[in-house]
Structure 1
Amino acid sequence: MNTRMRRAAFAVAAGAMAVSLAACGSAKESGDKSDSSSSAKKGDAIKVGLLLPENQTARYEKFDRPLIEKKVKELTNGKGTLQYANAKQDATTQAQQVETMITDKVDVLIVDAVDSAAIKNSVQKAKDAGIPVVAYDRLAQGPISGYTSFDNTTVGKTQGEALLAALGSKAKSGKIVMMNGSSTDPNAAQFKAGAHSVLDGKVNIGKEYDTKDWKPENANANMEGAISALGKKNVVGVYSANDGMAGGIITALKAAGISVPVTGQDAELAGVQRIIAGEQFMSVYKPYAPEADAAAEMAVALAQGKSLDTVAKDKVDSPTDKAIPSVIVAVVSLTKANINDTVIKDGVYTVSDICTSAYKAKCDALGIK
């Protein structure tokens, strides 16, 4: 995706940013963009529509939804309400959900698109109805008013760098398999590009897949096919774009009697436990609270007819729109070494969540207690 981003000089960044700098717009231009969909200023009694893409990945129901709802309540003195729907990985369903939100006259929409291109017409319909749209986690096409996500190219780079570190001198001793995310998700393309920028020329890529709908069972089937094609003795590592797929991949590897480094993303509980057990090498920890808070802050401001200038310090271009006010959140490489300092310290999981009886001995050995 050709995405350009402008960071304010004082914004916090981690690593090289995934998007190129956009030309600076004036405060007036940013304010005009933010306010264009809001016909009148409103108080705290606003209705925020939240549309999430699927429920197979643990993060959406466990973290994103409750965090956004909590922040909306906080920002509106308890008067704001959240109307929620999950598309369960169906773009047509999500389009119908947008129609319902428009009919129900929500004041603003937060949308994590199943298909970033297919959602374009729905975003336009919301705008035409005077409802601004905040793109959440995935950069939707159409006239969106704000966007928040992580530095997605850096996510891929972080995964690639971790895989190279795990392989060490064995990096070119065999083949790696690349299990990318769904082709309908623009983030997947950025993860893939970031990973390739690190891995190309330093490993031998034996097989590469774009995994339909990010489903673990599809990743499992792809991995079985890769093992059959390459031979189990020739597979030295696997780039997996997220933890859910890593689970399916590791099941296939175990069945073939293979133990090699596997990457991931999202710091799902099962992924963290696999890292402790030595089955998965790493995950990318993406602090959901800053992302969710940014989405809620932009949504409330837009619903109340306010500018996003004080909330969104970045600017991002989509294929259909320019200089979208945005908040880009940094990511962390999660390994055995920093579980205490990341997901436990931030309260994502407790020690008892992670260190169940099956993992207690491994946790004790790593000092997780």
Structure 2
Amino acid sequence: MTEHSLHRRRFLLGGAAAGAGVLLSACTSNEAPASDASANVANAGSDTKPGKPVNIGFSAPAADHGWMAAMTKNARAQAEKFSEVKLDATEGTNDVNQQISQVETLINAKVDVLVILPFDGKALTATGQQAMDAGIPVINLDRVFDTPLAYRTWIGGDNYRMGVNAGDYIAAQLKAKNVANPVIGEVAGIDSLPLTQERSKGFKDALARHGFAVGPRVSAQFTPESGEQQTSNLLQSAAKLDALWNHDDDQGVGVVAAIDNAGRKEFLMVGGAGSRNAMDLIKADSGPLKATVLYSPSMASTAISLARLLGQEKGVGDFAEHEIPAEITTYSAVVTKENVAQYLDVGFDS
């Protein structure tokens, strides 16, 4: 991804709200419990029925990168599924001041709910707080504001677990092949970003639990060009590799190109985010890419669904709670040849 698309990725909720507890009724005898309406799920089915009209304002950075373009595309597509939803989407921008101005316009227009994927979470915090103070619930998408007071609900991915799951998968594959003292490379994103640091820490921690360590490591810029250049450097410095983790499938286009150009075939590779082209390569099973760890833009679809429910003062169907959760962290599933078919629907174009 470009430097403009940062602070991102964390996920898997396939486009609909998911993940919370269910209220259970305890039973201390062998008899079937008596029917009790209070034991029922509070909002079962309430999110599927059309409700009152909801005007949702949407603001995101420029769609200058596969993952970011998919975020906006998914948000628009999800809004079209609901006859009572009107989506007011601003033109994507990587200019912080312009995004602030666009969101303020939506606030002044008195939209019912706001979905904001900020170019810079810190810079947009005051604007999110402004909307909340004006009585407009805010769904903060992916790049988190500095305070929870600036949003009603945050939804985004889990960068640390993304690294953990990549490390666990690689370790399992190497152990299955009885590889001792493996050389494990890493093509990270921009090192100055917290999201990159979290992914790398998760990867390092996971490998350490298996008795392994990260070997040669380079940092790219979330672009195919930087991915190719930095991977070429890594391959030149490492005569032998057993595995490689690339943080981002958009920059992974360049990573795969560098591997092909070098004629290297001795190692397995894991990607990150879940692009469609990465899934196609995994399905074909003809190269080093054997898996990718999801950070899916389908979270934008979920954000629109949640915004609709907030505007209609509903909870999430099948959740016991009457209210929508304050935070939802999506899960970074590992996509392999064995399960890729079930995740193709959330793959995005790199």
Distance 2:280 2:20 in 1: 38
**SS of the residue 1:53 aligns to:** coil
| 2:154 matched residue in structure 1 | 147
> C-alpha displacement at 1:151, in angstroms?
3.9
User: 1:125 and 2:124 equivalent?
Assistant: no
Whether contact under 8 Å (2:188, 2:196) holds in the other structure is no
- After TM superposition, the structure 1 = structure 2 runs for residues 60-75 of structure 1, keeping only pairs within 5 Å, are 60-62=68-70, 64-75=71-82
- When normalised by structure 2's length, the TM-score is 0.69
Assess if the C-alpha contact under 8 Å between 2:56 and 2:113 holds in 1: yes
Shift of residue 120, structure 1, vs aligned partner: 1.9
- In structure 2, relative to structure 1, the CA distance for the partners of 1:297 and 1:9 (3 Å cut) is same
Correspondence 1:188-203 to 2 at 5 A: 188-200=196-208, 201-203=211-213
Gaps in structure 2 of 5+ consecutive residues: 1-6, 8-18, 24-50
Hey, what does 1:106 align to over in structure 2? 111
CA distance, structure 2, for counterparts of residue 175 and residue 335 of structure 1: 19
Which residue, 66, 84, 89 being the options, matches 2:89?
84
Q: Is the 8 A contact 1:111 1:134 kept in 2?
A: yes
- Alpha-carbon shift at residue 56 of structure 1 (Å): 4.2
1:264 maps to 271
> Offset at 1:308?
5.6
CA distance in 1: counterparts of 2:159 and 2:224, whole angstroms: 21
Decide whether the 8 Å contact of 2:244 with 2:269 is kept in 1.
Answer: yes
CA contact (8 A) 1:294 1:311 kept: no
Q: Relative to structure 1, is the Cα distance of residues 84 and 324 closer, same or farther in structure 2, using a 3 angstrom cutoff?
A: same
- Closer, same or farther in 2 for the Cα pair 1:284/1:140, shift >3 Å? same
RMSD over aligned Cα atoms:
3.5
User: In the alignment, which residue of structure 2 is the partner of 1:165?
Assistant: 172
- Deviation string 1:128-149 (CA, Å, 9 cap, x unpaired) is 4443221123333241110122
For 2:242 and 2:101, how far apart are their aligned partners in 1? 45
Structure 1, residues 293-342: CA drift from partner, whole Å, max 9, x if none? 532233124334x376879889xxxxxxxx97123333421112222343
Q: Give the AA of the match of 1:163.
A: I
> 1:183 deviation in Å?
4.2
1:95 aligns with 2:104: no
Residue in 1 that maps onto 2:141 = 136
Residue 153 of structure 1 aligns with an amino acid whose one-letter code is: Y
Does residue 46 (structure 1) correspond to residue 47 (structure 2)? The answer is no
The 5 Å alignment of 1:318-357 reads 325-343=326-344, 347-348=345-346
| Residue 9 (structure 1) shift | 4.1
Letter in 2 for 1:159: A
Name the CA shift for 1:139/1:311 in 2 (closer, same or farther; >3 Å): farther
Partner of 2:244: 238
AA partner of residue 114 (structure 2): L
* Residues 247 and 93 of structure 1: CA distance in aligned 2, closer, same or farther (over 3 Å): farther
Corresponding position: 1:251 with 2:260: no
Give the 3-state SS of the residue equivalent to 1:254 in structure 2: helix
* Change beyond 3 A, Cα 1:160–1:130: same
Relative CO higher for 1 or 2, CA cutoff 8 Å, sep ≥ 6?
A: 2
* Residue 84 (structure 1) shift: 1.8
Query: 2:13 matched to which residue of 1?
Result: none
Which residue matches 1:174? 183
In structure 2, what is the equivalent of residue 219 of structure 1? Answer: 227
In structure 1, how many angstroms separate the alpha carbons of the residues matched to 2:192 and 2:155? 20
**Displacement after TM superposition at 1:241 (Å):** 1.3
SS at match of 1:264: strand
- The Cα shift of 1:70 comes to 4.6
2:226 maps to a residue whose letter is N
* 2:136 alignment partner, SS class: coil
Once the two structures are superposed, residues 253-309 of structure 1 have per-residue CA deviations (whole angstroms, 9 ceiling, x without a partner) of 2223323322212321211122223241211245655x34532233124334x3768
Query: What amino acid sits opposite 1:242 in the alignment?
Result: D
Report the TM-score when normalising by structure 1.
Answer: 0.66
State the SS of the aligned residue for 1:172. Answer: coil
Q: Provide the rounded CA distance (Å) in 2 between the counterparts of 1:216 and 1:313.
A: 44
Between the aligned partners of 1:340 and 1:115, the Cα distance in structure 2 is 34
Report if aligned partners of 2:309, 2:316 keep a CA contact under 8 Å in 1.
no
Q: How many residues align?
A: 293
Task: Judge conservation of contact 1:312–1:326 (CA < 8 Å) in 2.
Answer: no
Amino acid in structure 2 at the alignment position of 1:269: R
Q: Which residue of 2 aligns with 1:39?
A: none
Percent identity, aligned pairs only? 21
Equivalent-residue separation in structure 2 for 1:140 and 1:269 (angstroms): 30
Does the CA-based 8 Å contact 1:312-1:325 persist in structure 2? no
Match of 1:55 among 47, 58, 63: 63
Structure 1 letter corresponding to 2:22: F
Q: 1:87 touches 1:93 (CA, 8 Å); kept in 2? A: no
Q: State the Cα distance separating 1:175 from its structure 2 match.
A: 4.8
Does the Cα contact within 8 Å between 1:167 and 1:261 map onto a contact in 2? no
